[in-house]
Amino acid sequence: MRVLGIETSCDETGVAIFDSEKGLLADALYSQVAMHSEYGGVVPELASRDHVRKLLPLIREVLAEAQLSLHDLDGVAFTAGPGLIGALMVGASTGRALAMGLGIPAIAVHHMEGHLLAPMLEENPPSFPFVALLVSGGHTQLVKVEGIGEYELLGESLDDAAGEAFDKAAKMLGLDYPGGPLIARLAEKGDRSRFRFPRPMTDRPGLEFSFSGLKTFTLNTANAHRDEQGQIDDQTMADIAAAFEDAVVDTLSIKCRRALQQTGLKQLIIAGGVSANRHLRLKLEAAVKKEGAELYYARAKFCTDNGAMIAYAGCQRLLAGQASDLTILAKPRWPMETLEPIS
Ligand code: ATP
Ligand code: MG
Ligand code: FE
């Protein structure tokens, strides 16, 4: 089965074609980051308009790359939520209409299920059941995964998501949006022992997270090291970035070990934009080993938003006989625990 995947939930237009026998045939991405960075964050109306401008050209591009025509497709998967309503509407209406015109089924995909299944696109993928750490711009969740659509939320952030915390800390250091990758790059040159930031909520039992306090800590540390012109020297910037990254990574590792202990499972997958973070991958690799478990993640370009994860997730659901009706489904809020299992 060949499925076209469409992702337009936020500021990335992602399109891909996944073949259940041959794997991923093509994928293309257009990021609106440059446009939004002028405003320091995503401007919803501009995002919707840019998806309209880019979606059809990207669909043509992946078809050409895979040397296929629209009539070679067996299904269309589109992200139906959670996300920005206007942005979601672009992918949902295009995907739904395309499938209807072609006389093939369409499937509404949950964006976080897409992220969660992205490691399945790699060689040597994990097998169910496993624990998933979803760390993205809008989510920080630990989920027990028994199968596709069988999700038990073990814990989540009570305030900011991990990616959001990276972006806000970056803003306080005067870095561009999105700041996660910029903090990570700075941190590589930082002295990780100069500042020590707290590891929020690790001193009590449970799998909940809280990252909002770290941005205050970042701001206070930055302000304490400004010169008369309000500038912070390069080394101090790098040291603060390293301390911040360490605090987030350490906190995530502690909770991941706890989740493995609590569930008795021996596989941890990490997904979402922050799972591209190299320091997180290294630290978790070591933490997971101490539990006698294995760590899995997607290649970096499939950690952040992309069409491949949507094509993959949609294909699994279509293969199981699921399909969406003719409603153009776009749900800005959509709890993942309400999804249907595939069998
Ligand atoms: P959600 O998936 O929750 O709806 P989103 O789609 O906006 O949110 P993603 O695209 O999965 O989020 O990830 C983007 C986030 O990942 C941003 O907050 C970004 O700063 C962060 N991020 C990306 N790369 C890195 C990195 N190397 N280190 C830390 N954070 C990173
Ligand atoms: Mg994004
Ligand atoms: Fe995302």
Which residues have any ligand 1 atom within 6 Å of their CB?
10, 83, 111, 115, 136-139, 163, 166-167, 178-181, 184, 272-274, 276-277, 304-305
pLDDT for res 240: 98
Containing domain of residue 230, as a range? 128-297
Calculate what percentage of the chain has a pLDDT beyond 90: 99
- Is the ipTM value over 0.95, yes or no? yes
Per-residue pLDDT reduced to its tens digit, 261-289: 999 999 999 999 999 999 999 999 999 99
pLDDT for res 112: 98
pLDDT for res 278: 98
Per-residue pLDDT reduced to its tens digit, 118-133: 999 999 999 999 999 9
44 shares its domain with 171: no
Which CATH number belongs to the domain containing residue 193 in this structure? 3.30.420.40
Residue 343: which pLDDT band, with cuts at 50, 70 and 90?
confident
Alpha carbon nearest to ligand 1 atom 13, residue: 273
- Starting at the edge strand that comes first in sequence, how are the strands of the sheet with 267-271 ordered? 150-156, 140-147, 130-135, 267-271, 294-297
pLDDT for res 138: 97
Neighbours of 93 (CB within 10 A): 17
172 shares its domain with 95: no
91 found inside a domain: yes
157 is in an annotated binding site: no
The total number of structural domains in the chain stands at: 2
Neighbours of 22 (CB within 10 A): 10
136 is in an annotated binding site: yes
Residue with tokens 């630990």: 142
> pTM for this one?
0.98
Mutate to test the pocket of ligand 1, among 9, 305, 306 (most ligand atoms within 8 A of CB): 305
CA atoms in the 13 A half-sphere facing the CB of 249: 25
123 found inside a domain: no
- Distances from the Cα of 118 to the Cαs of 78, 218, 289, 321, in angstroms? 15, 32, 22, 21
> How far apart (Å, rounded) are the C-alpha atoms in residues 107 and 226?
52
Rounded distance from Cα 48 to ligand 2 centre (Å): 13
89 shares its domain with 138: no
Rounded distance from Cα 305 to ligand 3 centre (Å): 5
Alpha carbon nearest to ligand 1 atom 12, residue: 137
pLDDT for res 142: 98
Q: What is the DSSP track for 132-158? A: EEEESSS-EEEEEEEETTEEEEEEEBS
343 found inside a domain: no
